[in-house]
Amino acid sequence: MTVSMMMPAGHNAALSVRSDAETVHEKRQGARVVTVLMTVLAMVLMWGAMSALYAEPAQSNVRSVPMVSYTVRPGDTLWSYASAITPAGEDVSDTVAELIEINNLESGVLEAGQRIVVPAQ
């Protein structure tokens, strides 16, 4: 609501007057925003506390295996080397895949003079 008032000589001003209902509405809306923000903050804090209480230390089943550098000789293949180091009853192809991954090889093909990293025997 806008009200114009007559002021003494040389003073004309338009005053903006708000109704009580508009002021109350804005206060309620502000209170709702604060309530929502406080609820979100409380939920985040509870989530963080629960995460801290129930956190478990990371566990690794990976065993440390000493590695050595091996220089490939003429006639060596990754399969033959993997066959020699794979424990009985285990799959040689898994060992080949591990050797390929450890050495960042594109395939299982080796060349004489090439150096690869292999588990120490």
pTM: 0.47
pLDDT in tens, 45-98: 999 888 878 877 777 666 778 889 999 999 999 999 899 989 899 999 999 999
Q: Is residue 61 part of a domain?
A: no
No. of H helices and E strands in the chain?
A: 3, 4
CATH number at residue 115: 3.10.350.10
Is the pLDDT score of 25 beyond 80?
Answer: no
Q: CA-CA distance, 47 to 41, in Å (whole number)?
A: 10
Answer yes or no: are the C-beta atoms of 79 and 94 closer than 8 Å: no
CA angle, 103 as apex, 102 and 109 as ends, to 5°? Answer: 125
Residue 52 has which token pair?
């801290």
Answer yes or no: are the C-beta atoms of 21 and 27 closer than 8 Å: no
On whether both 44 and 88 belong to a single domain, the answer is no
Answer yes or no: are the C-beta atoms of 1 and 18 closer than 8 Å: yes
Note the helical H segments in the chain.
Answer: 20-53, 78-85, 92-102
Host domain of residue 111? 67-119
Q: Is residue 55 part of a domain?
A: no
Q: Is residue 57 part of a domain?
A: no
Q: What is the rounded average pLDDT of the residues 3-15?
A: 53
Domain count, the chain: 2
pLDDT in tens, 107-119: 889 999 999 998 8
On whether both 44 and 71 belong to a single domain, the answer is no
